[in-house]
Amino acid sequence: MSILKIVSQHLVNMRMLVRIMGWLLIIEAVFLVFPALTCVIYGESDWLPFAATSALTLVCGLIMALRSRPTSTHMGKRDGYLLTAMVWVVFSFFGLIPFLFCSRPLSYSDAFFEAMSGFTTTGATVLDSVGDMSHGVHLWRAMMQWIGGMGIILFTLAVIPMLNHSGGMQMFNAEVTGITHDKISPRISQTAKSLWMIYLLLTVVLVLLLWAGPMNFFESICHAFGTISTGGYSSSSNGITAWHDSLYIKLVLTLFMFLGGVNFGLIFKCMKGNFKALGSNDVFKTYVGVITLMVVMFGISIAWRGEVSGWQSVTVDPLFQVVSTITSTGFTIDNFEAWGPFVLSLTFVMMFFGACAGSTSGGAKIDRILYLFKNADNELYRCIYPHSIMSVKVNGRVVNPELVSKVIAFLCIYMLLVVAGGMALSACGVPIVDAFFSSFSCISNTGLGAGITGYGNSYDILPDVAKWILSLLMLTGRLEIFTILVLLTPAFWRR
């Protein structure tokens, strides 16, 4: 009996997974049409790789969706975990094909790195000259981030309502970031639709606002996709510094990066008129508090080093950089590296913290940090009063001790993976400081570079093995560790 048959009969509903994967590939094929049409509009030859990839993806999707006939549509936890991990990898494998055959082709390792970085909204790039790429490639990079920002599985749940009865909740839990996953509607498909409608509405508003400024329509689309998804890809080789004189652009991007870091369920409540939810949400208040504190500390450091060149340099610029970092967007101010090592150390802290769970941002999430600090405070109190009974409270509710234990385990594993990734990269010949920074940057889905990968350089300089390691870290960070690591446990594969 084959391994596939054993898995299908005893562990996961493989036929159903293949069928859903087929539907997903059909959706990806539709998305690939847009960069192909963009190339046609601008008279670029890259329309052919995108059109051919779209056709290939569509054929594969139709075969998988129509030929797979599951005996049962039931999906359990194992199915949700396996499908979620498979989707992101398969999407990246098909999404990289245009990069292989475009007018400025990439190697296979570089193409996979670029695709995985896009879908996971990491924003790290191997392109040493972004501005030389075609409009179709720019749009595809932006679209990958936009699709991955809210989630591939979540989009599928929104457009295929039948999954509401076929393990939709398992898929939702495996992909959506955060500690707990609260539905904003009774049906999981309606929750997915509501979240995607908010996401789409914010994107459209941001495109129009950027277009009203110094950006043209195409640049507005690319940067809106990269901002609201907190991905950070830009259509300019200089990134946001191409518009560094525009106060308007900085303020608009800062606002929408901030919104990208807020729990979309909380945004949904506000759009329904429940603004009291903001004031009663401990995580949101912590998010705002951390940003405020970091802006003040950035401003003091800039003034201390004599880098003040006007009122914007100690107000708007630090605010932009702080929000960009904590939301894992990765846009940078042009003179950011001149702000000194203290600012860089604060950047590390924000990369680790991340923004709110249920948002498009990366990092460990402020929710978990809040749980950790509250639990640590309780433990310190017990050192003095060992017989006291205390519990962690967030948003006025007592948190289950098992959930607190899971948070602590997550944070421990998170840091161990950063260390393991750094050691693996150093074994590939990457300088040790750069190795650990790159590992940290990719697992937090921030995409910032430092040393050999920063300040005008790209991840292209790394050896191919290092790029595959970082690609795995990006995927693990985007799916919040457990979704990937659970597949490596023997218990997952036992009946």
The H or E element containing residue 372 is helix 366-384
Residue 173 has pLDDT above 80, yes or no: no
Residue 312 has pLDDT above 90, yes or no: no
Whole-angstrom Cα distance, residue 35 to residue 47? Answer: 7
pLDDT tens digits, one per residue of 351-377 = 999 999 888 898 889 999 999 999 999
Residue 9 has pLDDT above 70, yes or no: no
Phi, psi of 232 (to 5 degrees): 100, 0
Q: How many CA atoms lie within 13 A of 342 on its CB side?
A: 13
Higher pLDDT, 495 or 454: 495
Whole-angstrom Cα distance, residue 373 to residue 351? Answer: 17
Residue 85 has pLDDT above 60, yes or no: yes
Residue 249 has pLDDT above 60, yes or no: yes
pLDDT at site 6: 42
pLDDT at site 30: 95
Higher pLDDT, 165 or 32: 32
**Band of residue 1 on the pLDDT scale cut at 50, 70, 90:** very low
pLDDT at site 2: 44
Whole-angstrom Cα distance, residue 479 to residue 472? Answer: 11
Q: What percent of the chain has pLDDT over 90?
A: 47
Residue 493 has pLDDT above 90, yes or no: no
pLDDT tens digits, one per residue of 99-120 = 999 989 999 999 999 999 999 9
Residue 450 has pLDDT above 70, yes or no: no
pLDDT tens digits, one per residue of 40-67 = 999 999 999 999 999 999 999 999 988 8
Residue 308 has pLDDT above 90, yes or no: no
**Band of residue 465 on the pLDDT scale cut at 50, 70, 90:** very high
pLDDT at site 10: 52
Whole-angstrom Cα distance, residue 323 to residue 223? Answer: 16
Phi, psi of 331 (to 5 degrees): -65, 145
Determine whether 334 is exposed, middle or buried from the number of CB atoms within 10 Å of its CB (0-12, 13-18, 19+). middle
Residue 494 has pLDDT above 80, yes or no: no
Residue where the block lists tokens 């909380």:
266
pLDDT tens digits, one per residue of 386-437 = 888 888 888 878 888 888 898 999 999 999 999 999 999 999 998 888 899 8
pLDDT at site 167: 55
Nearest to 152 by CA among 120, 185, 122, 190: 120
Check residue 331 and give left, alpha or beta (phi > 0: left; psi -120 to 50: alpha): beta
Alpha helices in 8-151 (DSSP H): 14-41, 47-67, 77-95, 97-101, 108-119, 135-150
List the single range of 2-11, 281-290, 396-405 with lowest mean pLDDT: 2-11
pLDDT at site 422: 94
Average pLDDT over residues 139-144: 95
Whole-angstrom Cα distance, residue 495 to residue 492? Answer: 8
Residue 470 has pLDDT above 90, yes or no: yes
